[in-house]
Structure 1
Amino acid sequence: MSFRHALALVLLGGLLPGVALARDLLVAPPDASPAAAPDGSAVAPWPSVGEALNQAQGGDRILLMNGEYGALGIGGADFDTAVTIMPRSENGAHVTQVSVANSHNLVIRGLNVWPLEEGRRRRLVTTQSNASQIRFEDLDIRGAPNAPEAYLDWTREDWTRNWNAQAVRLEGPDNAVVGSRITGISFGITTLGPRAEVRGNTITGFGGDAMRGLGDGSVFAQNLARDCVKVSDNHDDGFQSWAPKDAPSGTPVTGIVLEANTIFEWTGPEDHPLRCVLQGIGLFDGPYRDFTIRNNLIVVSAWHGITAQNAEGVEIVNNTVLFPGGLSHERPWIRVNPAEGAGNRVLNNLAMAYRDIPGAQRSNGVVVDTLREFRDPLGGDYRLREGSAFIGAADPDAAPETDIEGTARPQAAAPDLGAYQSR
């Protein structure tokens, strides 16, 4: 039978044997009056997400009607093709937590996730190690209901006790968090399972590390982290990795890609009492193998802008690593150990300094005067000024095909140094 013939049967109301159409299954909040005979329709919605999942097939959507759902726990949901859980209307469903265990092939999209009461530590979005291919999209995750408006006014006690929340922890394989907004939390996104995808998220106001990646083959791309507060003894990083403690000694973290991320230590008031001194990308406890770190913009005041220790086959290319406030400084640096004989490459970067990298200044740019080289660093514009000596100075064989904004490289005879390509 031709595809056209099969499609005609479906349009006419017929259905091929073994073919099921995707359905929308509606769920009512717990405080709604239960339907006598729920069937997932608007007039008789399922009374819980769990009961809707029991009726779902691959490709279905579970739509949450407007309301409060409390802590959402999902277990034993296993599908060949993805089932999507999402609000029926935008911003219409709120949960205090999401936890997924022993499940496979779910998309959880568009939920508001934050606690309603202060006073205890909590993890807001988690997957257990036996949950795979769980994808979180377009979530609004907050450490407190009013975090976007209030986090700059929080006291140390607010951060460490009243609204102490870790945003996302993904332990299983092939999990993802994409296009989500995370505000006013301690630690942002932590991934432990292999092949995690962390892409296009904004993390604003954090009291620990913005991102942590421990699983092999993971990708952290196009994320924005800004406004770190100092409220504990943690050495705060925009991104950090380390060899998992339960792995055999010497087991490397392998194949992580960090690309086109932006890490700003601070964008709030200059005299804020809790402003931290942030490290950019810190790979301190290895070993690390075959990392790719490219097209990232890092504006921090700690020494470690990008540091990779016990590294082999690590590529650090076309990053821009600067001191905040448009100031010139001797830090932050790019540093790799060992510098020679391990296949590490440090090329086409712009940074205030380089450490333990022989010949770094021949293959990279040292920024002496930030205000002279960039268009408006005080306003957050780190594109190169017209006439900068860094324009067209990059090694074309090492440069990525695009820059941090997706602009093709090169635009002229040769690509530029740093994360941005001039147009």
Structure 2
Amino acid sequence: MTAHTLKLTSSFLVFLAVALMAIPPALARDHFVDPASVGTADGSKASPWRSLQDILNEHVVLAGDRVVLAGGSYGRLVIQDKMMSDVTSVVVADGQQAIFENVEIMGSANWVLSGLTVTSAGLRKLEEKYHVRIDKKSRNIKIEEFTIYTVEDISDWSADDWNEKALDGIFSEADYTDIRNNNIRNVNFGISTLGVHSSVVGNNIENFSGDGLRGLGDHSLFEENVVKNCYQVNPNHSDGFQSWSTGADGRPGTGVIKDVTLRRNLILNYEDFNQRYACKLEGIGLFDGVYEDWTIENNIIAVDNWHGISVFGARNVRIKNNTVMDIDYFPPGPAAITIISVAGDDPREASLVANNIANEIKIEGDGVERFGNIEIDDLDDVFVDIDDGDFRLPENSEVIDRGVPDPDMKIDYFGNPRPVGKRLDVGAVEKQ
């Protein structure tokens, strides 16, 4: 090959490379699905596909695509072995209700599912436990604005109905899940996350017989969730939020869970003092393990139990500006903040209990700082009207301007600025 030929070849290769770069990548596509569709379909808005499951199984949906669902019943949804290189979404058309029996995501990544309704309608199938399940081989999954319920109305349910029919809301073993702004009601357990880097934000969990929230993964966030109305229908000791660690041998209490934040959550035992099967709800229960670098702040917890916030095995756990009260004046209780430090820890890993309201503060171990806390028995000094769901701080409460300054505490439970007035108010709410 001559030098002249080499020069021409090199020039052609450069031209070819530039030409290929100029070709745009395949554009993401919208796929429309309507279970009532008839006739020939091409996935357009005018001619929608009939089956979401079929177009997933047949690899019609590609990375970066969006699937738009019309109203109707879709049965069971399984997203399996769909590791997408770009965010791929399934959404519900405005003003529509797309109803599923359950949703299962396995071995898949980079999916956003938004606006689905998932209900078993009380027809629990053998060994079925979850309305929505995400397995540990999946990652980067977002579940948002779902409506999830076992049945619409549980007012006439017996204990047997609860135990035989109620499914869990959302169960995720995956890393990097975002579970946000879902409405979950009439279920066994509400939301459980086992993977690391889980975000559970803005969810409403109402009427449950297990735990409201469970978080077992490092580097996770639980924020602005409402957990209320617990039903005692079996021997389970229900918690608003529960965690435990496991070591390499899989035994509870043998590992460490690190860097978890619980912030601005409401945990309420019940709204109706005459609620049937009302349980003795534990608030935040961290009983088995070592809990390292946790932050628990600006939460409102009203329960009928002595476990308001309990951390057994704390290392650098920060419990600040929470309001923890017993919802009635009868046993069990009173509702307490209890923290037990890990023996022999470095002083730099000391935990902190500061500016909290509780019926009782109980601290064990040398590695815990405490200041600015107030023990109160009277609900009327903490809430304007808990019976009516008004959790604002009343006028002339003794906790106003009684907190110790904290430059990191800039907002309260409601998102209002703090401090207002001379000093920080104690507890989760700042008087505006």
TM-score tier (shorter):
0.7 to 0.9
Amino acid of the structure 2 residue aligned with 1:77? K
Question: Residue 133 of structure 1: CA displacement?
Answer: 0.8
Counterpart selection for 1:283 from 282, 286, 289: 286
Which residue is 2:30 aligned to? 24
Counterpart selection for 1:205 from 196, 207, 220: 207
Q: Is the 8 A contact 1:91 1:110 kept in 2?
A: no
Question: Residue 362 of structure 1: CA displacement?
Answer: 4.5
Counterpart selection for 1:55 from 51, 60, 63: 60
The 1:25–1:75 alpha-carbon spacing in structure 2 relative to 1, beyond 3 Å, is: same
Q: Is the 8 A contact 2:124 2:167 kept in 1?
A: no
Counterpart selection for 2:400 from 383, 391, 405: 391
SS in 1 for 2:45: coil
Say whether residues 1:337 and 2:340 are aligned partners: yes
Which residue is 1:11 aligned to? none
Question: Residue 259 of structure 1: CA displacement?
Answer: 0.5
Question: Residue 418 of structure 1: CA displacement?
Answer: 0.4
SS in 1 for 2:310: strand
* Mapping for residues 12-411 of structure 1, pairs under 5 Å: 17-29=23-35, 32-33=37-38, 35-36=39-40, 38-53=41-56, 54-120=59-125, 121-144=128-151, 146=152, 150-161=153-164, 163-244=165-246, 250-268=254-272, 270-325=273-328, 331-338=334-341, 341=347, 342-356=349-363, 362-397=371-406, 400-411=409-420
Distance in 1, matches of 2:284 and 2:174, equals 23
Which residue is 1:3 aligned to? none
Question: Residue 44 of structure 1: CA displacement?
Answer: 3.3
Which residue is 1:8 aligned to? none
The 1:372–1:363 alpha-carbon spacing in structure 2 relative to 1, beyond 3 Å, is: closer
**Count of matched residue positions in the alignment of Structure 1 and Structure 2:** 400
Q: Is the 8 A contact 1:73 1:99 kept in 2?
A: yes
Question: Residue 232 of structure 1: CA displacement?
Answer: 1.0
Question: Residue 335 of structure 1: CA displacement?
Answer: 0.4
Q: Is the 8 A contact 1:298 1:320 kept in 2?
A: yes
The 1:63–1:373 alpha-carbon spacing in structure 2 relative to 1, beyond 3 Å, is: closer
Distance in 1, matches of 2:431 and 2:329, equals 19
SS in 2 for 1:234: coil
Question: Residue 330 of structure 1: CA displacement?
Answer: 5.7
Which residue is 2:4 aligned to? none
Which residue is 2:5 aligned to? none
Structure ID, larger Rg? 2
Which residue is 1:422 aligned to? 431
TM-score by length of 1: 0.88
Question: Residue 42 of structure 1: CA displacement?
Answer: 2.9
Distance in 1, matches of 2:140 and 2:232, equals 34
Q: Is the 8 A contact 1:329 1:352 kept in 2?
A: no
| Runs of 5+ unmatched residues, structure 1 | 1-14
Amino acid of the structure 2 residue aligned with 1:18? P
The 1:219–1:136 alpha-carbon spacing in structure 2 relative to 1, beyond 3 Å, is: same
Q: Is the 8 A contact 2:372 2:426 kept in 1?
A: no
Amino acid of the structure 1 residue aligned with 2:133? T
Q: Is the 8 A contact 1:318 1:399 kept in 2?
A: no
Distance in 2, matches of 1:69 and 1:100, equals 16
Amino acid of the structure 1 residue aligned with 2:353? V
Question: Residue 194 of structure 1: CA displacement?
Answer: 0.4
Amino acid of the structure 2 residue aligned with 1:48? S
Distance in 1, matches of 2:260 and 2:124, equals 36
Amino acid of the structure 1 residue aligned with 2:265? N
Question: Residue 18 of structure 1: CA displacement?
Answer: 2.2
Q: Is the 8 A contact 1:201 1:222 kept in 2?
A: yes
Q: Is the 8 A contact 1:327 1:371 kept in 2?
A: no
User: Which shows bigger deviation, 200-209 or 397-406?
Assistant: 397-406
SS in 1 for 2:155: helix
| Runs of 5+ unmatched residues, structure 2 | 1-20
Amino acid of the structure 2 residue aligned with 1:191? T
TM-score by length of 2: 0.86
Which residue is 1:6 aligned to? none
The 1:311–1:361 alpha-carbon spacing in structure 2 relative to 1, beyond 3 Å, is: closer
Question: Residue 329 of structure 1: CA displacement?
Answer: 9.4
